[in-house]
Amino acid sequence: METIRANLYDYPKYYDVLFGSDWRAEYDFLQACFKRFARGRVRRIFEPACGTGRLLVRFALAGYEVTGVDINPKVVAYCNARFQRRGLQPAAVVGDMADFHLPRKVDAAFNTINSFRHLPTEEAARSHLECIARALRRGGLYVLGLHLTPAGKPQCQQESWSARRGHLAVTSRMWTIALDRGRRRERVGLQFDIWTPRRQVRLYNEVVFRTYTQQQMTKLLRVVGSLEVVQTYDFSYQIDCPIQVDPRTEDVVYVLQRR
């Protein structure tokens, strides 16, 4: 199999095959969060690091006013083409999730698949949360999902999943190469194996995620101050099954409310 070292986010078609097919649980969970925790009706929704718009387009088709931002022009173009194919106005713009301003306040925002950890520094993470707080109306929600670094050895050090769309099949693998708790850096390998009737190719890349323990995340949210944790969940997305976050927790979804 041919191997190409590449930025996997520059291949939105393959990324969307993997993640676009598994949207229903997150979508239903977000809808349930909006109904249960938001003060007032949710009409306008924002997604930072929106990627290919796999969830954003579902909300648009359901009648919400949506917008998104992503730093990668290729995924933004893919997202907007998806909207246009469905007769919708393009919703995504190229921008930095740590430095943005929305023209109108929104009722809710979400970022559910660990994109928050791409922010490389505490300053960038704090700036992102402050931008979100300014974008939300009072009582609005930010649903933020990420992997925490647990005390002791992490239970999950690699993940793999597969999906198919027509004659295109994609298998993904992600694994920890090195974890530096002191510098708060996790170096991760990412691999897409792609099969079509005429070609088989492997895309490979390495990325560095910033790490967060439960205590570090709690401290960050306390420093920002304008976002209050109203409930926490894991990645099973069961609205009636909240979790208690402790030092051993790995997967967590924070439901944050604008004070």
For residue 42, give the CATH number of its domain.
3.40.50.150
Residues 212/221, Cβ–Cβ less than 8 Å: no
Is residue 173 domain-shared with residue 77, that is, in the same domain?
no
Q: Do 191 and 127 fall into the same domain?
A: no
Distance CA 121, CA 7 (A): 21
Classify strands 168-180 and 158-165 as parallel, antiparallel or unpaired.
antiparallel
C-alpha 252/C-alpha 235 separation (Å) is 7
Closest listed residue to residue 224, CA positions, set 144, 136, 123, 149 = 123
Considering the domain boundaries, does residue 4 fall inside one? no
Q: Which pLDDT value is given to residue 20?
A: 78
Euclidean distance between CA atoms 76 and 3, whole angstroms: 26
Domain boundary among 189, 210, 231: 210
3-class DSSP assignment, residue 42: coil
User: Domain containing 158: what range?
Assistant: 151-210
Give residue 18's pLDDT: 87
CATH code: domain of residue 162: 2.20.25.110
Contact 191, 202 (CB under 8 A): yes
Coil vs helix vs strand at 177: strand
Last residue in a domain, options 210, 234, 250 = 210
DSSP 81: H
Q: What residue spans of the chain are helical by DSSP H?
A: 12-20, 24-37, 56-61, 73-85, 122-135, 214-224
Q: How many structural domains is the chain composed of? A: 2
Phi, psi of 168 (to 5 degrees): -100, 125
Sign of CA dihedral 35, 38, 40, 46: negative
Distance of CA 80 to the CA centre of its chain: 18
- Global pTM reads 0.95
Q: Would you state the pLDDT for residue 21?
A: 74
Q: Are residues 174 and 249 in the same domain?
A: no
Q: Are 204 and 6 in contact (CB under 8 A)?
A: yes
Q: Given this model, what pLDDT does residue 157 score?
A: 74
State residue 2's pLDDT score.
86
Tens of pLDDT along the chain (259 residues) come to 888 999 999 999 999 998 877 789 999 999 999 999 999 999 999 999 999 999 999 999 999 999 999 999 999 999 999 999 999 999 999 999 999 999 999 999 999 989 999 999 999 999 999 999 999 999 999 999 999 999 887 767 788 889 999 999 999 999 999 999 999 999 999 999 999 998 899 999 999 999 999 999 999 999 999 999 999 999 999 999 999 999 999 999 999 999 9
SS3 of 143, please?
strand
144 & 156 share domain: no
Q: Based on the fold, state whether residues 163 and 227 are members of the same structural domain.
A: no
**Is 56 exposed, middle or buried, given 0-12, 13-18 or 19+ CB atoms closer than 10 A?**
buried
Residues in a beta bridge with 188: 176, 207
What integer pLDDT is reported at residue 158 of this predicted model? Answer: 82
Residue 170 pLDDT: 95
